[in-house]
Chains A and B, each alone.
Chain A
Amino acid sequence: MTPLLRVEDLRKSFGEVSAVDGVSLDLAPGQLTCIIGPNGAGKTTLVNLLTGRLAPDGGRIDFNGREITRMRAHARVQLGLSRSFQVNSVFPHLTVAENLAIPTLARLGRSGAMLQRAERVSGLEDAVRRLLAEWHLEDERKMSAAALSHGSQRLLEIAIAVATRPRLLILDEPTAGLSPAEKPQVLAQLRRVAASGETTFVLVEHDMDIVFSLADRIVVMHRGRILADGAPAVIRKDPVVREVYLGAALDAPVGGRGVSSGEPLLAVAGMNTFYGQSHVIQDVSMLLKEGEVVVLLGRNGAGKTTTLRSLMGLTPPRSGQVVLRRKEISRLPPHEIAAAGVAYVPEDRRIFLDLTARDNLLIAARQGRHASSASRQNFPRCGSASNGEWGGGWDLARVWALFPALADIQHHRGDQLSGGQQKMLAIGRALMSNPDLLLLDEPSEGLAPAVIRALADAIGRIRAEGVTILLAEQNAAFATRVADRVYIIENGHIPLEEESTYIRAHPEVLQRYLAVEDVSEHG
């Protein structure tokens, strides 16, 4: 049988980063394929290339026997290749019915009619009515899409794509941001559409339960390439795939424990955070003692980043308390939280691309409260390399000592640095503000095993300086190696808190929450 979609050696880079690096793929009609892989693996870029949102640098795409490599997006939709978006992309101030009318008008070939009332277009009313019924949106038909709950908006997002009656439907994380209660509804809809047999599906998905319950075939992406491709049973057992999800094999825990003074530094009580209607963080409570390294471990979309952003005041919690050294900070703006001694390293690093590595560090330099005044005087802020003695304050010399690779490239501009170097620079920049508490979002993500090892050592040395660290991670092996304690986060709440040593000894605990296999096997 000729494939419905044939992809040959597809390539796309952004600057020096190869987001999609030679992907070839055939899709047979009727199959449900799931694309999985860590963040930054190139999944969404691949979807964007297939659907015409991005133009490839090289390679070829054929759809239904026709080359579409450079075809405009709307023409691909007309041929029967539709998509939904990872972040809801509806028409916010149109009614739900109008949201569905637009793709339906396009399908009927009547979207350009000017002198006919929209509701008189033959076939439109029936089609929209049927869609509203099928997607359980009848009661909301007159509501503006912006007023819908996140779950209903998600349904509408997918329904708009389905309304074009695609032969191939590519869904980018259809269950993103949904509560456990809402997911089955989306799943049921996908099953219903799939049952009609007219549509071939490709899903990008992080939720392994969904992947294994739906997929006929799983494609695993990693760093822009296809790492593995096969039936779910095969993928589940593939050691390489497990390594990508588990991270590099790591041995004994990093030293430097026991510096914890036991004084509570950060207390979080009943924190709730929303994105619009979507209740992302639900009643999260945590306690961090001074000098501890604690990890928030969970899958993609579990709420790790939002928790860190809530602590930092970037997405302020709607309720609950965040207390840093007896000071309530949950209502403060981010710059005041930073001034109180919290530094945040986002997953996407956000370094200043136009500044040199050195200037990136200097711009953040600030004297912390934590460092003793004596050590501050001993280590001038912008001095040359120190003698390596570790006092209290962070300055250029200490950051160079922590990440020697950075010292060599200190005069390179941010955009010339590799992903790993940018990551180190972002951590270094956070340290330059001399924080008491360092929030690191997925520091190990997208790093090569050797770099991960160096990063683990660096974290050990930072905590030896008395900086308390909260990591968000999905790499269980890395997380349990560097951290004293683990908070498991799932769907925005924390079902489990354990010592790392316990988790390393009882890896089956993680399986329940992370749907990854054995942690100790590689460790």
Chain B
Amino acid sequence: MSTLPRTVVSASPGRSARARSLVFVGFAGLVLALLLLPLGTNQFQLFLLTRIAILTLFAMGFNLVFGYGGLLSFGHAAFYSAGAYTAGFVLKAYPSLLVGVAGGVVVAVILGVVIGFFSVRHLDIYFSMLTLAFGMLIYSLVWKSGFTGGDNGLIEIPRAPLVLPGLEIPMTPIGHYYEFVIVITIVVLAVLWRIVHSPFGVVLRGMRENPERVEFAGIPMRRYRLIAFVLSAAIAGLAGTLLGPLENTVGPESAHWATSGEPVLASLLGGASTFSGPIVGAILLVLIKEIMERYTPYWLLAMGMVLVVLVLSFRGGIVGSLRALWQKRA
């Protein structure tokens, strides 16, 4: 037994103190660089970066139940748009960024509990179809009702200032708003990193592998799955709240199932079984779309073809394939 390392449960090899501090320095450097980016970029680039951060959040939240929990939700746009619309309403009535964000997350959580309650008792395709159905239900509500602005959506959502005790930061400059979104994204990623390495994270991956055995290990599997689903809905909702202040408008397409497909694509493209996969996927998706849109009116067709090639040539996603390659070399 003495030959065993300090920890046996952790899948990753224990790092030395030196290696850990190196990783920390590298991470801090990256965060600093991300926050300093507005100094050397134009408005449009910052707009794109903010979009990438929003999709990253959306995809990371989604991948908590997909990549880690093994449940393919096709209705996450419901939470995303719930967050977006709620934040829009709140900001129009009470212009404080944090209040709007908080309001959106609360509504997304409530919706997550309701949809999750009915969905997580089913598995595989039944779960996917149920979430899709709930998602489309929300879409038709948003699209048809006058309350939400119908086809036009909510317009004139202000990029309200960040109000903290004794401090008010205006968000009108895109650089400020970009930094706000980046800080939120980094905080959420840090929390997610903690969660997937926690006991709950191990159990979550166990549920992906074999939900029945989790139950027979003495764990109330359904309740755990609901918790993961609601967490995931909360993060998707948070991503949605950041959309309105960026674009000044939120439309019903944010609830459409095509929007639900975006985090699915980002996760698959980057690698659903990896932590950073959805980040890479989100970056690529936004960039490919942006470039294609510029060169051809058939950008959707071209983007589809690029995605088919990428998904077929990178089994397990880009990060997943690179990691497999790295492990083979080592």
B-binding residues in A (CB < 8 A): 51, 53, 72-75, 77-78, 82-83, 85, 89-95, 97-98, 101-103, 105-107, 110-119, 121, 124-125, 128-129, 132-133, 138, 141-142, 160-161, 163-164
Contacts and interface: CB of A to CB of B under 8 A. Distances in A.
Nearest to B10: A119
Interface stretch (B1-9, B39-47, B292-300): B1-9
Nearest to A92: B209
Contacts of A113: 198-200
17 contacts: A72-B215, A74-B215, A74-B216, A74-B217, A74-B218, A74-B219, A82-B216, A89-B213, A92-B209, A102-B213, A112-B200, A114-B198, A114-B201, A115-B195, A118-B198, A124-B9, A125-B7
A11 B243 CA distance: 57
A118 B199 contact: yes
A49 to B, nearest CB: 14
A133 B1 contact: yes
A116 B200 CA distance: 9
B210 A98 contact: no
B209 A93 contact: yes
Given A93-B209, A94-B205, A115-B194, A160 B9 contact: no
Nearest to A138: B4
B238 interface: no
Nearest to A91: B209
Nearest to B224: A112
B220 A74 contact: yes
Given A74-B221, A118-B199, A129-B4, A95 B216 contact: no
Contacts of B198: 113-118
For the complex of A and B, the 6 pairs showing the least CB-CB separation, nearest first, are A77-B218, A103-B217, A106-B218, A91-B209, A119-B7, A119-B9
B8 A129 contact: yes
A119 B7 CA distance: 7
A237 B95 CA distance: 87
A98 B9 contact: yes
B296 to A, nearest CB: 40
B217 A97 contact: no
A240 to B, nearest CB: 34
B206 interface: yes
| Interface-central residue, B7, B8, B218, by most chain A CB under 10 Å | B218
Contacts of B215: 72-74, 77
B124 interface: no
A122 to B, nearest CB: 12
B96 to A, nearest CB: 28
A126 B235 CA distance: 35
A160 B213 CA distance: 9
B106 interface: no
A129 B10 CA distance: 12
B319 to A, nearest CB: 16
A141 B197 CA distance: 18
B205 A97 contact: no
Nearest to B214: A102
B130 interface: no
A77 to B, nearest CB: 4
Given A98-B202, A102-B202, A106-B218, 5 more contacts: A74-B219, A93-B205, A111-B203, A117-B198, A141-B4
Given A95-B11, A125-B7, A141-B8, A118 B202 contact: yes
B216 A114 contact: no
Contacts of A73: 215-216
B118 to A, nearest CB: 18
B156 interface: no
A110 B216 contact: no
Contact of A118 (B201, B219, B224): B201
Contacts of A78: 218
Given A102-B219, A132-B8, A91 B199 contact: no
Given A72-B220, A89-B212, A119-B9, A94 B206 contact: yes
Interface string B172-202: 0000000000000000000000110111111
A338 to B, nearest CB: 31
Contacts of B197: 117-118
Contacts of B219: 74, 102, 106, 111
Given A102-B206, A114-B194, A142-B11, A107 B4 contact: no
B24 to A, nearest CB: 15
B61 to A, nearest CB: 15
Nearest to A116: B198
Contacts of A94: 202, 205-206, 209
B279 to A, nearest CB: 21
A128 B9 contact: yes
B268 to A, nearest CB: 17
A91 B206 contact: yes
B75 to A, nearest CB: 24
Nearest to A105: B199
Contacts of A95: 11
A72 B194 CA distance: 30
Contacts of A129: 1, 4, 8
B210 A112 contact: no
Nearest to A80: B218
B203 A97 contact: no
Given A94-B205, A129-B4, A160-B217, A101 B200 contact: no
A88 B147 CA distance: 54
Interface string B214-242: 11111111001001000000000000000
| Interface-central residue, B1, B216, B220, by most chain A CB under 10 Å | B216
A118 to B, nearest CB: 5
A244 to B, nearest CB: 30
A473 B4 CA distance: 49
A118 B10 contact: yes
Given A91-B206, A128-B9, A110 B199 contact: yes
B218 A125 contact: no
Contacts of B217: 74, 77, 102-103, 106, 160, 163-164
A133 to B, nearest CB: 6
Contacts of A77: 215-218
Contacts of A160: 213, 217
B182 to A, nearest CB: 23
Given A103-B218, A117-B197, A90 B213 contact: yes
A144 to B, nearest CB: 10
A113 B209 CA distance: 20
B196 to A, nearest CB: 10
A344 B220 CA distance: 43
A477 B229 CA distance: 58
Contacts of A118: 9-10, 197-199, 201-202
Contacts of B7: 119, 125
A169 to B, nearest CB: 12
Contacts of B212: 53, 89
A90 B217 CA distance: 11
A493 B46 CA distance: 70
A112 B199 contact: yes
B216 A83 contact: yes
